[in-house]
Chain A
Amino acid sequence: MKARLKKLYDWVDERVQLEDLVEFMGKKYVPVHSHSVWYYFGGVSLFLFIIQVVTGILLLMYYKGSESLAFESIQFLMSKVAFGWLIRSIHSWAANLFILAAMIHMFSVYFTKAYRKPREITWLTGMLMFFLALGFGFSGYLLPWNELAFFATKVGTDIVGVVPLIGKPLMILLRGGEEVTGATLSRFFGLHVAIMPGIFTVFLTIHLLLVQRQGMSEPLGVEANAGEEMRTMPFFPNFLLRDLLLWLIVLNLLAMLAVFFPWELGRKADPFAPAPAGIKPEWYFMFMFQTLKYIPAQVLFIDGEVLGIMLFGIAGLLWMLVPFWDRRSSRGERNRVINYIGIFAVIYIIVFTILGWAS
């Protein structure tokens, strides 16, 4: 068996010269310290994204992106296609776990200040991918064309519409008209399966290349204490196998969720029906939705909703540009303010998400 594998390796090596790559991988090390566990969440996010791509392609074989057929095609997939229910449930659950893993990954990078020079581009591409992931979630939610999705999209795109200047045209662009209709479904379908995956792939390639090129960042505190040489482990095979172990655990979790909590389809959307009670956005939008509910209708001379959206917009932008204004971390100095901001953000998101679900 070993001889055969060696023969195959030699055959490929003879043609594409694998030696350089093997040498590069052999020299690649991952720092080992008390915060090393956070390194795995990037890998978990990547694994879940791959699951999304694979299950998404399988779903595409049956899904029909039109107002009259979308719901029925999912219904058919779930009741008649062998393992169709499993693929859809895994796609839905993996989408949520993907955003959760990406969020944990983002916060771990933030708190360990791994975004600091020279990894500004890695952070930027990561943030852009995170926003795209939210976009995937928002657009994918509408695709089954069920009652909850329809009204959640209506509310969501209404919020986009209140953004000053560009809001209204952006809302019409998203909806394909004044209202959420079959045109919106077509657009969201296009965005979900073609436009966003294309852009995402570009950012992902840059992100992964930079991670490989620059290696894993060492947290500031760990770096400062290092009197002697930092403990490391080889990326290949030690880190990669650990990654694989975690991926298998996540896969197990996904299978259990899909079987014990199959993703419901609900009732077909009826644009003329009144909105059902208790319309809520997906959990990752909940803290923003809940905040908008608490802001008074008018704050000084600004409309409350506009103010909320502007504040979230500015906060998101500042968060994305943190490598450029957190100069102290880049210089290798401690910056407690960054930690306080991060802790505030985490607590805020958790509290407001819980409030949103409880209300």
Chain B
Amino acid sequence: MKAMLLAFVGLISHGSLAAASAQVENQCLTCHETLGDKPSELFKHDIHFKKGISCAGCHGGDSTSDDMEVAMNPKAGFIGVPKGDDISRMCAKCHSSAAIMVKQYNSILPRNQIETLWESVHGKLSTTGKERIAQCTTCHDAHGIVSTKDPASPVYPLNVTKTCAKCHSDAAFMRAYNPALPVDQLDKYRTSVHGIRNKEGDVKVAECASCHGSHDIRAASDVKSKVYATNLPVTCASCHANRAYMKGYRLPIDQFGKFSKSVHGKALLEKHDLGAPSCNDCHGNHGAVPPGVESISKVCGICHALNADLFSSSPHKKAFDRRKLPECETCHGYHETVAATDELLGVSPDAVCSRCHSPSKNPKGYLVARTMRQLIDSLEAAESRAAVLVNEAEQKGMEISEARFKLRDVRQARLESRTMVHSFDEEKFRAVIEKGLGVTSAVSAEASDAIHEYYFRRWGLGVATLIITVLAVSVFLLIRRIERRQQQKK
């Protein structure tokens, strides 16, 4: 009768038959509640409790008995508080089982969480070897577990950064596992557009798990990581290229498409050149913001240091600052930065210089741009001529490897001149071009000599063959004369 009454009370208070019957049978909770301990208080809000899972579900024993000796009898399977990896194993007993998750609870949750967790950096990086760094409860808590969509969940988008930071901002804790890893990610994140909006309550913006994953987090240096350099553009694009998702943010969604076509994107995504920049190299990662007009040359200058230095001391620096033009971007564009060719230089319609310089407008710059283009074209033409001569000498079988090697210096001078363009100083530019022209002259002379030598050898052979043949004929005639005399003597 008492049980029936209790069941009725439970039904009213929780609105669920399963939860009500669990509460009826959950003698552990009844006793622990009277003790006033925190776990029992939290457990009443736990999704598992609401689904009718008793304390015994994780701790073992017989939760239906109000006799402590019976309820907490190891023979009845009581294990107390699971420790270390046993915690995750205990969760996986149900969460990896289709029979329980699908059939009993009609759940659509993935059932490979424990496998992905143990494959992740948190599963693998252990200092003791006894247990993994993170268990399920590390992020989801133990007794107050709620759905990840519940704002109370520690892994809810607005809470997850704090949850991760519990460990990742703790320098003493992190030192034990990865002393090289910075511990200021949360601080940086709070300065980013993502972080600011997240703090304002925007659950759509990226938080830790958006980029790093949840159970399957891998080190950024792991090629399978979502934030590995070659994977990162796709990770960012999963939101930034999604028109529906980005609606309301007033941002373009073509960055990934443009980047993929750029010289950087091709190097990174097609050639897998890790030296090429990924999204985070220009925008920052945890502190991601679009670089401003002021900082764009600093961002590009991280890799293109010489170009940035030359530009900073060039007359263009002041002019750009005055007009509030972004430095590198004005000529080279952004996201879709194509390979810089000589066509960018000069006064032709395709050249970027002609956008600002014309014979009537900024004529001095117009003349310099035209001269610089002529100079670089002359070097390219001289290089081609030298290469043709070297090829011809090689085809004639001449040993000309040194000249072939020197051609690299010409190419180097051409590359150097492209860098020197950023000084916008005709004299400095001319010096580099003349250095290259000097090498092309030497290479061309060497190749021409080799070609002449080739013909000289043939002529030499002709002369030598003639002399040897005359000698041979002479010897032949001498033999005949001697033998004729010998015959006559006989």
One of B178-186, B281-289, B456-464 at the interface: B456-464
Tell me how far the C-beta of A48 lies from the nearest C-beta in chain B, rounded to whole angstroms.
Answer: 15
Interface contact A241-B469, CB-CB below 8 Å = no
* Contacting pair B482 A259 (CB below 8 A): no
Contact present for A248 and B483 (CB under 8 Å): no
Contact B483 A238 (CB under 8 A): yes
Interface string of B461-488 (1 = CB under 8 A from A): 1001100110110011011001100100
B468 in complex: contacting residue of A75, A251, A264, CB < 8 Å: A251
Q: How far is the CA of A86 from the CA of B456 in the complex (A)?
A: 12
* Distance between Cα atoms of A99 and B314 in the complex (Å): 70
Query: In chain B between 48 and 74, which residues have their CB closer than 8 angstroms to a CB of chain A?
Result: none
A252 CB to closest chain B CB, in angstroms?
Answer: 5
Task: State how many residues of chain B have any CB contact under 8 Å with chain A.
Answer: 24
With A248-B472, A259-B457 known as contacts, the answer to whether A79 contacts B465 (CB < 8 A) is: no
In the assembly, what is the distance between CA of A264 and CA of B398, in Å?
A: 9
Q: What CA separation (Å) do A245 and B476 show in the bound complex?
A: 7
Evaluate whether A249 and B472 lie within 8 angstroms (CB atoms) in the complex, with A79-B400, A262-B397 already known. Answer: yes
Whether, in the assembled complex, B270 has its beta carbon less than 8 Å from a beta carbon of chain A, the answer is no
B402 contacts chain A at the CB level, 8 A cutoff = yes
- Check if B397 sits within 8 Å of A255, measured CB to CB: no
Bound CA–CA A191/B398 (angstroms): 30
Interface residues of A in 172-225 (CB under 8 A from B): none
- CB of A313 closer than 8 Å to a CB of B: no
Select one of B457, B469, B483 contacting A252, CB under 8 A.
B469
Closest A residue to B449 by beta carbon equals: A79
CB distance from A359 to the nearest CB of B (A): 27
- Asked whether, in the complex, the Cβ of B478 is within 8 Å of the Cβ of A78, the reply is no
A25 to B457: give the CA distance in the assembly, Å.
41
**Do A256 and B475 touch (CB < 8 A)?**
no
With a cutoff of 8 Å between Cβ atoms, the chain B residues found around residue A237 in the complex are: 482
Instruction: List the A residue with the shortest CB-CB distance to B478.
Output: A241
Contact residues in B for A260 (Cβ distance below 8 Å): 461
- Among A75, A86, A249, point to the contact of B399 (Cβ < 8 A): A75
A79 cross-chain contacts in B, Cβ below 8 A: 398-402, 450
> How far apart sit A79 and B447, CA to CA, in the bound complex (Å)?
11
Q: Note all chain B residues with C-beta closer than 8 A to A242.
A: 479
> Is A63 an interface residue when CB atoms closer than 8 A count as contact?
no
In angstroms, how far is the closest chain A Cβ from the Cβ of B76?
Answer: 67
Verify if A93 is at the interface (C-beta below 8 Å from B). Answer: no
How many angstroms from the CA of A255 to the CA of B468 in the assembled complex? 10
Which of A241, A245, A256 is close to B461, meaning CB atoms less than 8 Å apart?
Answer: A256
- Do B475 and A245 touch across chains, with their CB atoms under 8 A apart? yes
B454 to chain A, nearest CB (A): 10
- In the complex, the chain A residue whose C-beta lies closest to that of B471 is A248
Contact check, B468 vs A241: say whether CB atoms are below 8 A apart.
no
In the bound complex, CA of A234 to CA of B485 (Å): 13
**How near does chain A come to B394, taking the closest CB pair, in angstroms?**
11
CB B139 to nearest CB in A, in angstroms, measures 48
Nearest CB of B to A161, in Å: 34
Residue among A79, A234, A260 with the highest chain B CB neighbour number at 10 A: A79
**Chain A residues within an 8 Å CB radius of B464:** 255
Structural contact, B468 and A248, CB atoms closer than 8 A: yes
Q: How far apart are B490's CB and chain A's nearest CB, in angstroms?
A: 12
The reply to whether A255 and B465 contact each other, CB–CB distance below 8 Å, is yes
Q: Does A244 contact B (CB under 8 A)?
A: yes
Residue pair A241, B397 in contact (C-beta under 8 Å): no
Q: Give Cα A264 to B401, complex, Å.
A: 12
Within 8 A of A (CB), among B415-472: 450, 457-458, 460-461, 464-465, 468-469, 471-472
From residue B463, how far is it (CB to closest CB) to chain A in Å? 10
Contact A252 B465 (CB under 8 A): yes
In the assembled complex, the CB of B348 is this many whole angstroms from the nearest CB of chain A, namely 42
- Interface membership of A49, Cβ < 8 A: no
Taking a contact as CB atoms under 8 Å apart, the answer to whether A259 and B458 are in contact is yes
A252 to B463, CA, bound (A): 11
Distance A184 CA – B96 CA, assembled complex (angstroms): 64
Taking A75-B399, A252-B472, A265-B399 as contacts, is the C-beta distance between A241 and B482 under 8 angstroms? yes
Which of A86, A245, A248 interacts with B479 by CB under 8 Å? A245
List A contacts of B399 (CB < 8 A): 75, 78-79, 85, 265
Residue of B397, B399, B472 contacting most chain A CB atoms (<10 Å)? B399
A244 / chain B contacts, CB cutoff of 8 Å: 475
- Whether A241 pairs with B475 at a CB distance below 8 angstroms is yes
Say yes or no: B465 contacts A245, CB within 8 Å. no
Q: B483's closest neighbor in chain A, by CB?
A: A238
Q: Which residues of the other chain, B, contact A85 by a CB distance below 8 angstroms?
A: 399, 457
Report the nearest B residue to A245, measured CB to CB.
B475
CB within 8 Å of A: which B386-411 residues: 397-402
Residues of B within 8 A of A255 (CB): 461, 464-465, 468
Question: What residues of A have a CB within 8 angstroms of the CB of B401 in the complex?
Answer: 75, 79
B 350-396 contacts with A by CB, 8 A:
none
Question: Roughly how many angstroms separate A234 CA and B479 CA in the complex, as a whole number?
Answer: 12
Assembled-state Cα–Cα distance A242/B480 (Å): 10
Q: Which residues of A have CB within 8 Å of B397?
A: 262, 264
Complex CA–CA separation, A237 to B486 (angstroms): 11
Q: Check A252–B400 contact: CB distance below 8 A.
A: no
A251 to B263, CA, bound (A): 60
Considering the complex, give the chain A residue whose CB is closest to the CB of B396.
A262
Q: Give the CA-CA distance A78 to B478 in the complex, in Å.
A: 38
CB distance from B265 to the nearest CB of A (A): 33
Contacts of B483 in A (CB 8 A): 238
A259 touches B475 (CB 8 A): no
Closest residue on chain B to residue A258 by CB atoms: B461
B482 contacts A238, C-beta separation under 8 Å: yes
B381 → A minimal CB distance (Å): 26
Residues of A within 8 Å of B468, CB to CB, are 248, 251-252, 255
Of all chain B residues, the one with the shortest Cβ separation from A76 is B402
Whole-angstrom distance from the CB of A193 to the nearest CB of chain B? 23
Contact flags B254-266 to A (C-beta < 8 A → 1, else 0): 0000000000000
For the complex of A and B, 4 pairs with smallest distance between CB atoms: A248-B472, A259-B461, A79-B399, A78-B399
Give 6 A-B pairs besides A75-B402, A255-B464 with Cβ atoms closer than 8 angstroms: A79-B401, A248-B468, A248-B475, A256-B461, A259-B457, A259-B460
List 17 A-B pairs, Cβ < 8 Å: A75-B402, A79-B399, A79-B400, A79-B450, A85-B399, A238-B482, A238-B486, A241-B475, A242-B479, A244-B475, A248-B468, A251-B468, A252-B468, A256-B461, A259-B457, A259-B458, A259-B460
Give A contacts to B, CB under 8 Å: 75, 78-79, 85-86, 234, 237-238, 241-242, 244-245, 248-249, 251-252, 255-256, 259-260, 262, 264-265
Interface residues of B (CB under 8 A from A): 397-402, 450, 457-458, 460-461, 464-465, 468-469, 471-472, 475-476, 478-479, 482-483, 486
